[in-house]
A and B are shown apart, each in its own frame.
Chain A
Amino acid sequence: MINVYEAVSANKTKSYFIVALFFVFVTLVVYVLGQSFGYYLGYAPGGIGYVGLALIVSGLMSLGGYYFSDKIVLSISKARPANRKKDFTFYTVVENLCIGTGLPKPKLYVIDDSAPNAFATGRDPEHAAICATTGLLEKLTRSELEGVLAHELSHVKNYDTRLMAIVAVLVGMVALMGDWFLRTMWWGGKDRDRDEDSKLGAIFIVLGIVFAILSPIIAQLIQLAVSRRREFLADAGSVEITRQPESLISALDKISADHEPLEVANKATAHLYIVNPFKGGISGRGPSTALKMVNQFAGLFNTHPPVSERIKALKTMV
């Protein structure tokens, strides 16, 4: 039995650990690929080098994403601004949660879709936006809605939206580096004197190829692990705000029992939602160990932890 405060701080520690692991991994990949480039082309790149170039390209891309991500996401999702009269419960619940947490009130949007779901976006609490579907607003009671919206608000409070943006940029950078490396290989490098430190060079080139192929996949897996960890953290944060684990549990039950897919969600925005908008997939609960292993492996590629696990974690806080 752990209390809410312990759950939040334990979750924070685990999140930091995963993020640290991620940065170490990215640095390693960038170093190996940079070295390997150098050996392959027969000279160490001068000036800013390949790593610098990759950083600049991805940096520019991320800067755009950093400032405009909320607007892009909201327009992809076809969201309309919410108002107090039409969306009374939605509007006032968020208003109240903000009183309780001392956060500024985020901008609120509604998606006209009967699949119940919600997400938060924005680079910091001052520029945050929370979006809910009409299905969510209609199907949940006020208390359940408080649980869900407190979950979204704790994403905002924990700067999860910013963290995920940065992580996405790093994943993109790793993929970009790997891609460049493989392309250069294709075109062939400079003819070199093969006797000169050829052993070390060969090792680095082989390592480079392996890294170039594997690292984008590994980076993606770590990104998904970060995303899953943040979901647990936001669940714990939601309970810290509302002190009602039961209402979030019943909300998660209701949302996951609803098998209607959300039409406006896509792969790029899936990790933002409170529950994965693409339901279904492999849902074997049978005793077969083979199936279990398949499930576990498939679980690595999930943006969200299984709802049953989230509910189990929430029940320890009751």
Chain B
Amino acid sequence: MIIYILLGVLAVLVLWFISTYNFFVSAKGRIKGAVQEIGNQLKRQADLIPNLESSVKGYLKHEKGILDKLADVRREIAQAVASDNVQKMSDAGSKLASILPSIKVVVEDNPELKGSDVVTKLMDELRDTADKIMYARRLVIDLTVDYNVRRQTFPSNFVANMLKLEELPGLITPEKGEHLEVSEAETKTPSIKL
């Protein structure tokens, strides 16, 4: 009788070990895939921007600033993709998102630009491609958090320790610095002068 109970418990333990082991292995695989997806999206963006540039060149003749900014971003993205470095890729991805508002201001200021389909299309495509990279990075962050939490929490930490699994960095963000502090000026409600 006792032997059967022990065998049952053993079987459950073995099954649990297998499923936990498989979780860690597949999580690692997924994270690797998600990182590659960032590169994939950046590549798409790098291919997309020249096309957009050429299609709006005529409209934005007077706004050379926008075209120059786009060209800069494209160059950085190309370098990041070539470097194969997760961190560089991630930084380049946020570059486009950061210049989007300034492009928007230019478009809002020019009624004739705002009305044109080509420019609307440009804005849509830029927002979309920036979103795609944001979500690709989000997946890396989420999967890494999941992996790291399971690695450290009871009882799956036994398996993790046994396999000597290392903590994965995900997307590196400095744990000290400006972005974690709120300055006096930032706490005030922004006032908008028109």
Q: Which residues of A contact B (CB under 8 A)?
A: 88-89, 92-93, 95-97, 99-102, 142
Interface of A (DSSP majority class) = helix
Instruction: Fill in one digit per residue for B7-47: 1 if any A CB lies within 8 Å of its CB, else 0.
Output: 00000000000000000000000100010010001000000
The 10 closest A-B pairs by CB, nearest first: A100-B135, A99-B135, A92-B128, A96-B131, A100-B138, A96-B135, A96-B132, A99-B136, A100-B139, A102-B139
In the bound assembly, the distance between CA atoms of A95 and B129 in angstroms comes to 11
CB distance from A254 to the nearest CB of B (A): 20
A95 vs B37: C-alpha distance when bound (angstroms): 13
Q: How far is the CA of A148 from the CA of B11 in the complex (A)?
A: 44
- Between A92, A93, A97, A101, the greatest number of chain B beta carbons within 10 A of the residue's beta carbon is seen for A92
Beta-carbon nearest neighbor of A97 in chain B: B135
| Residue on A nearest B137 in the bound complex, by CB | A100
- B57 on the interface (CB 8 Å rule)? no
Min CB distance A284 to B, Å, is 37
Please tell me if B127 contacts chain A, counting CB pairs below 8 Å: yes
Q: Which of B132-147 contact A (CB under 8 A)?
A: 132, 134-136, 138-139, 142-143
Chain A neighbourhood of B138, CB < 8 A: 100
With the chains together, A21 CA to B137 CA distance in Å? 40
Q: In the assembled complex, which residues on chain B have CB atoms less than 8 Å from the CB atom of A92?
A: 124, 128, 131-132
A96 CA to B132 CA in the complex, in Å? 5
Q: Which residues of chain B are within 8 angstroms of A93 by Cβ–Cβ distance?
A: 131
Q: Are A96 and B139 in contact (CB under 8 A)?
A: no
Nearest-Cβ distance from residue A89 to partner chain B, whole angstroms = 7
* Docked complex Cα distance between A29 and B136 (Å): 49
Residue pair B34, A102 in contact (C-beta under 8 Å): yes
What are 15 inter-chain pairs, A to B, with CB distance below 8 A? A88-B128, A89-B124, A92-B124, A92-B128, A92-B131, A92-B132, A93-B131, A99-B37, A99-B135, A99-B139, A100-B138, A100-B142, A101-B139, A102-B30, A142-B127
Q: How far is the CA of A89 from the CA of B121 in the complex (A)?
A: 11
Min CB gap A298→B, angstroms: 40
B194 to chain A minimum Cβ distance, whole angstroms, is: 21
A213 to chain B, nearest CB (A): 44
With contacts A101-B139, A102-B139 known, is A96 near B37, CB below 8 A? no
Give the chain B neighbours of A95 by CB distance below 8 A: 132
Task: Name the residue on A nearest B38 (C-beta).
Answer: A99
Distance in angstroms between the alpha carbons of A22 and B127 in the assembled complex: 45
B-side contacts of A88, CB under 8 Å: 124, 128
Known: A88-B128, A89-B124, A100-B135. 8 other contacts (CB 8 A): A92-B128, A95-B132, A99-B37, A99-B132, A99-B136, A100-B134, A100-B142, A102-B30
Q: Could you tell me if B128 and A96 are in contact, using CB atoms closer than 8 angstroms?
A: yes
Which residues of chain B (33-84) have a CB below 8 Å from chain A? 34, 37, 41
User: How far, in whole Å, are A142 and B136 apart by their CA atoms in the complex?
Assistant: 18
Minimum Cβ distance to chain A for residue B115 (Å): 18
